[in-house]
Structures are given as C-alpha cells and as structure tokens.
C-alpha cells in the first residue's frame, strides 16, 4: 500500500509543480459578491465549500462530511480569504442525505446545522434556492477555494488521500475564487464521464446538473461549492472534473422536499 502511494506522491508533486498558478479560469472574489459562500473545515483543515441556505443551515456535499461527527466540523463564513477572517462557527448536527452513496454522482448532499444563528450582514447571508432548472448552455457562477490547475492527478486523487502534501502543492488559493461556467446537457455529461475506468460512477439524472467550459471549472477542494444563477442557488458541487471532465452538481430543485423537511428547526 505504501510504495504505490509514495510513487503517486512523487508523480503528483512533479505534475503539480508544473501546473500554472491560475485557477481553472477564475478571478478573486469579494465575499460581498457571494455572501452565501461557506468554507467547510474538517478536523481543522479546509476541505470543501458550501452555501448558507438559512439562518442556521449550511448546504455542502455529503462526501465532505460523511463519517465525521459534528464536533469535528466548523464553517468559516463572511471571509474573502480561504483560510482566515470572517466568523468561524461550530457545527452541532450533520444530516447526510439518506440516499447518498460514494459510488454515485447523485444525492451527494449534506446539511450542517450551525451551533449559533447566522446574523445576516453584507458578508454573510443565506442564498435563495432557484425556482427553475437552468437551460443547457446558460451561464452560472461558481465560487471556491479549490485547486487552481487541473490535471488527471487532481481529478483522480483526492486531496485527503495524500494529505501529507501541503496546500501550496495543490495550488490552493489564498483568496476566494470565482468563475463563470456553462450548463451542459445531461446526455453529453453522462457520455463524457462514462469512459473513466477508475470511476464507474452512476447517477447523472434530473437530480444532477453538469457544467463544462473550456479552461474553466472546479477541482479538488471546490467540492460542495455553490453554483449560482442570478443570485439563486442551483447546484452544490458533487464531483469536480478539474477541467478534464464536466463538473457534476446536485440539482437543488430536485431536492426541494429533502431540503424543506430537514431545515425546519
């Protein structure tokens, strides 16, 4: 187990060192332009993104928090930086979607209940959920603190699998990043993902939304990131394509019942 992992680390370092520092096509974002953005911290490490959806709930990807108790999770809200500033708030309850499976794209959602109420300001406030599914090829905005260069290693490896590598090698940004991407049709998205031998993933359906834009998109730590159209939440990143494959999001509109019934308290 160790030898292949070490080899992978060496290969990873070589690959990552060669990647350019730019995000996959992103710019620095001021939190005032995305006050719903949350950074999810698991065991003191920045792991994912998320979105504030009510005065006490953050929505993120199940994969980010599955298997961790609430006490190991915090969220950073209201900061334009990835690792500092804003308010760091504790999580008191984790609700992973009951149909989540790590082998599927769909149902990759989890709700995090904050221990304190989130007092809305210009830097942190809930985002409304979208009321209609976006059309293919329409534009959407993405925010995140994920790797800024895409390659096969980023795509296949998870940061947490080789956590010995420092954030700088993963090209994680210091400031929150954002980019504009385009919605990709379901059929094309499924076709683009089908050929990956490592990932016999299933579940691209009405419960998911894909995006694809040349030289732009999500990678690694972006998971959980909000996909937004006209200041309304349309998706939560389930699987980053690292600009090699389409990015796959949970379709917020497909989960209205689950969201409504789990955010009442």
Ligand X SMILES: *[C@@H]1O[C@H](CO)[C@@H](O)[C@H](O)[C@H]1NC(C)=O
Backbone angles phi, psi at 256, to 5 degrees: -55, -45
The residue (of 89 and 259) whose beta carbon lies closer to ligand X is 89
Given a contact cutoff of 8 angstroms between Cβ atoms, the answer to whether 50 and 127 are in contact is no
How many residues would you count in the chain?
265
Given a contact cutoff of 8 angstroms between Cβ atoms, the answer to whether 21 and 148 are in contact is yes
Site string for ligand X, 107-146 (x = CB under 6 A): ---------xxxx-------------------xxx-----
- Minimum CB distance to ligand X, residue 81 (Å): 17
Q: How far is 238 from 256, CA to CA, in rounded Å?
A: 17
Q: How far is 119 from 102, CA to CA, in rounded Å?
A: 34
Q: How many positions of this chain bind ligand X (CB under 6 A)? A: 14
The residue (of 9 and 175) whose beta carbon lies closer to ligand X is 175
Q: Which of 23, 52, 89, 259 forms a contact with ligand X (CB under 6 A)?
A: 89
- Minimum CB distance to ligand X, residue 180 (Å): 6
Tokens of 241: 């394509």
Subset of 31-60 contacting ligand X (CB under 6 A): 33
- Minimum CB distance to ligand X, residue 138 (Å): 7
Q: How far is 12 from 47, CA to CA, in rounded Å?
A: 19
The residue (of 74 and 220) whose beta carbon lies closer to ligand X is 74
- Minimum CB distance to ligand X, residue 121 (Å): 9
The residue (of 16 and 75) whose beta carbon lies closer to ligand X is 75
The residue (of 94 and 118) whose beta carbon lies closer to ligand X is 118
Given a contact cutoff of 8 angstroms between Cβ atoms, the answer to whether 95 and 259 are in contact is no
Subset of 217-236 contacting ligand X (CB under 6 A): 228-230
The residue (of 51 and 89) whose beta carbon lies closer to ligand X is 89
Subset of 159-218 contacting ligand X (CB under 6 A): 180
- Minimum CB distance to ligand X, residue 265 (Å): 17
Q: How far is 246 from 49, CA to CA, in rounded Å?
A: 18
Rg (CA), the chain: 17
Q: How far is 222 from 63, CA to CA, in rounded Å?
A: 12
Q: Which of 9, 87, 101, 121 forms a contact with ligand X (CB under 6 A)?
A: 87
Closest CA to 207 of 139, 75, 109, 141: 109
Q: How far is 50 from 175, CA to CA, in rounded Å?
A: 16
Interacting residues of 261 by C-beta distance below 8 A, sequence separation 6+: none
The residue (of 116 and 206) whose beta carbon lies closer to ligand X is 116
Does residue 158 touch ligand X according to CB under 6 A?
no
- Minimum CB distance to ligand X, residue 178 (Å): 7
Binding-site ranges for ligand X (CB under 6 A): 33, 87, 89, 116-119, 139-141, 180, 228-230
């Amino acid at each position: 187990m160790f030898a292949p992992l070490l080899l992978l680390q060496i290969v990873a370092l070589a690959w990552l060192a060669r990647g350019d520092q730019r995000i996959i096509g992103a710019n620095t974002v001021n939190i005032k332009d995305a006050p719903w953005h949350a950074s999810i911290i698991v065991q003191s490490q920045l792991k994912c993104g998320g979105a504030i959806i009510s005065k006490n709930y953050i929505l993120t990807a199940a994969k980010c928090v599955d298997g961790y108790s609430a006490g190991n999770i915090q969220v950073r809200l209201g900061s334009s930086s990835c690792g500092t500033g804003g308010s760091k708030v504790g999580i008191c309850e984790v609700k992973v979607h009951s149909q989540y499976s790590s082998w599927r794209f769909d149902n990759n959602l989890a709700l995090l209940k904050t221990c304190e109420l989130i007092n809305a300001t210009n830097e942190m406030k809930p985002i409304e959920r979208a009321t209609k599914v976006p059309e293919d090829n329409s534009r959407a905005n993405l925010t995140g603190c994920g790797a800024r260069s895409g390659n096969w290693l980023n795509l296949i490896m998870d940061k947490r699998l080789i956590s010995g590598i420092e954030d700088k090698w993963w090209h994680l940004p210091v400031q929150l990043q954002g980019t504009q991407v385009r919605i990709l049709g379901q059929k094309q998205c499924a076709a683009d993902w089908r050929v990956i031998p490592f990932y016999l993933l299933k579940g691209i359906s009405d419960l998911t939304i894909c995006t694809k834009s040349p030289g732009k998109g999500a990678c690694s730590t972006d998971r959980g990131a909000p996909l937004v159209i006209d200041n309304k939440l349309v998706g939560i990143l389930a699987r980053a394509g690292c600009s090699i494959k389409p990015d796959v999001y949970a379709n917020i509109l497909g989960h209205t019942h689950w969201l409504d019934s789990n955010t009442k308290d």
